[in-house]
Amino acid sequence: MALLEVNDLHVRFNTDDGVVHAVRGVSFEVEQGKTLGIVGESGSGKSVATQTITGLTRGARIEGTAMFEGIDLLAATPEELRSVRGVKIGMIFQDPLTSLHPAYKVGWQIEEMIRAHQDEGRKKARARAVELLSLVGIPNAKTRVDDYPHQFSGGMRQRVMIAMAMALNPALLIADEPTTALDVTVQAQVLDVMRKVQEEFGTAIVLITHDLGVIAEMADDVIVMYAGRVMEKAPRRDLFYANHHPYTEGLLASLPQRNSSGGRLLPIKGSPPSMINPPQGCPFAPRCPYVFNRCVEETPALVPVFRREDHLSACFLSGHQAEREQGKEQMRVALLEEAQLESARLESAKLEGIA
């Protein structure tokens, strides 16, 4: 059984503009010791989905289940959740500059985490904090525990966050864009630290990112999110070399050359749909180059493709990209012919009018 099994998760926020349906039936599982990558454009619901699981989404209507070590986190009491957070699920966030409390020493912040859950004296907690800081590669950890966050660089602070998240040896680490705010070389170092920690403790990781380069380096399985839904779910290799969904294709096509801007995404043409009262049909339809009638009438379900159980896609198309290119060309020709026909009809109508 998987370590974490999320099933049909829905998250809705009541706002002044209406109900924001930020997560719409997301399901995924995370295997022990493995890394699940989550990619998707800004606003696709990656953070909301993962934070809801740990009870960090406030003021939302939540549906679905999230089974973790035999309990449903979405039905757990606040007390139960507190005993999971930090102890069994560690979290790190996007911006290391704002994620640590500016008024407390980093060592104190790690100790607080340990002492909140374990009956340990200050001394022991502190020794553990030093140990953790050196584990994530902070030089002179013994003296640096007494420094404040502002005395560390961004990369170093993210290491501190990792150290803190790993303090109690959690089974799962949720890293929400842990490298987005860092520059490229520091990114690589932080990813290394995460990998090292994973090897050492056998931690499972949920890694949220915009960066397909990061996915290529870290993930075992990948889910692609769009407008609060999972569009495609595949093992990493398949996602890059045998993907199915046009949105995934778009993401990969917009990936710039590795050397230009660090593998960051360039946006796909068009913008994601509103999360309030979305029209029915495939959410990607307005931006999809392959869109056809059925796409705007029905919403495609996430189903196995290519006769593989571990590769799912929410798209009506069948087959691979090459066939689709053919299909696209056929469609273009058909449209062209239709247009020509139409103008010919107009022309003849005009002539009749004159006559």
Partner 1 sequence: MLKFLIRRVLTGALVLWIISMLVFALFFAVPNNVARQMAGHNATPTTIKLINQRLGLDQPLWEQYGKFIWNALHGDLGEDYYYQLPVTHVIAEALPITLSVVVGASIIWLLLGVSSGVLSAVRPRSFIDRLVTVLALFFYSVPSFVLGLTLLFVFYYKLTIAGFAIFPAGGYKPLSDGLNQWFFHMILPWITLAMISAATYTRLTRGSMLEVLGEDYIKTARAKGISERRVIYRHGLRSALTPVVTQFGIDVATLIGGAVITETVFSLPGVGYQSIKAIRNQDLPLILGVVLVASVAVVVANILVDLLYAVLDPRVRLS
Chain residues that interact with ligand ATP, rule: CB under 6 A: 13, 15, 20, 22, 40, 42-48, 210, 275
Token pair listed for 122 = 């200050």
Alpha helices in 60-175 (DSSP H): 78-84, 96-99, 106-117, 122-135, 141-144, 154-165
Three-state DSSP at 136 gives coil
From the list 35, 47, 99, 299, which residue makes contact with Mg ion (rule: CB under 5 A)? 47
What are the strands, taking DSSP E only, across 182-266?
204-209, 221-226, 229-235
Q: How far is the CB of 44 from ligand ATP (least distance, A)?
A: 4
Residues numbered 69 to 88 that lie near partner 1 (CB under 8 A) are 78, 81-87
Residue count of the chain: 355
Q: Strand 60-68: give its sheet, edge to edge.
A: 18-30, 4-15, 60-68, 71-72
From the list 165, 291, 305, 312, which residue makes contact with ligand SF4 (rule: CB under 6 A)? 291
Residue 116 binds which entry of Mg ion, ligand SF4, partner 1, none, with Cβ cut-offs from 5 to 8 Å by kind? partner 1
Q: How far is the CB of 94 from Mg ion (least distance, A)?
A: 7
Q: For ligand SF4, which stretch binds (CB under 6 A), given 23-31, 40-48, 69-77, 289-297?
A: 289-297
Which residue in the shown chain puts its C-beta closest to Mg ion? 47
Residue 150 binds partner 1 (CB under 8 A): yes
* 30/282 with CB nearer partner 1: 30
DSSP H helix total and E strand total for the chain: 14, 12
26: left (phi over 0), alpha (psi -120 to 50) or beta: beta
Residue 54 binds which entry of Mg ion, ligand SF4, partner 1, none, with Cβ cut-offs from 5 to 8 Å by kind? partner 1
Alpha helices in 211-263 (DSSP H): 212-218, 236-241, 246-253, 258-261
Residue 167 binds ligand SF4 (CB under 6 A): no
- Which residues lie near ligand SF4 (CB under 6 A)? 246, 282, 284-285, 288, 290-291, 295, 300, 315-317
